[in-house]
Amino acid sequence: MPYRLTGVGTSVVSAQWEKVPGDEDVARRVLIVLEDRRLLFGQRHMEDESECVASALAIREMLTRELQEAKPGKDLALSLRSMRGACRRFVDAGGPGGHEFRGSWSGNPVFWTALGELRALMGQQIGLIADKYEIDLEPELASIIPVEPEQDLSWVPGFGDGQDSDIPS
């Protein structure tokens, strides 16, 4: 954990220091909180739109607090801001009081689309943070991290050598 100079004495040369969290500490703290947010990985048929909006607001507050108090480095700050922006877009999509999300049990496409976008954007940033700081995640949260494609995509129509019989010329 790094230290920050907080004061300097004058009569006898002295300095005062305080421990400040490093980026790895901030990243670990953020991911531990997110591991307990079902909004990011819960079963879609069990989601309650008002609880999802409240959870997104709580995540935004936590990310803002980390940005203000911990003052993370440039890369981590960019990821935290991206996640905060994803939460903001989710809440905005719900409209005032989340009224645009009401009726999700009947398949409200606004809610399900916003939830899918939130999870995709958060998963991307969570994956970057976990990889950079070598942090193991609980399986539920890890489930939203995008999977890198196989190197050999020749088995996928359109990614072969042009000889695929399934693709019209």
Q: Which of 58, 67, 62, 75 is nearest to 21 (CA)?
A: 67
Entry pTM: 0.74
Residues of the chain with pLDDT under 50: 1, 20, 164-165, 167, 169
Q: Which of 60, 51, 32 is nearest to 140 (CA)?
A: 32
pLDDT at 98: 86
Q: Are 132 and 22 in contact (CB under 8 A)?
A: no
pLDDT in tens, 117-131: 999 999 999 999 999
Instruction: State how far the Cα of 62 lies from the Cα of 39, in Å rounded to an integer.
Output: 15
Our CA dihedral for 94, 95, 100, 101, rounded to 10 degrees, sits at 30
Residue 103 identity: G
pLDDT at 135: 96
- Three-state DSSP class for residue 97: helix
pLDDT in tens, 73-83: 999 999 999 99
pLDDT at 8: 58
Instruction: State how far the Cα of 164 lies from the Cα of 105, in Å rounded to an integer.
Output: 42
pLDDT at 97: 84
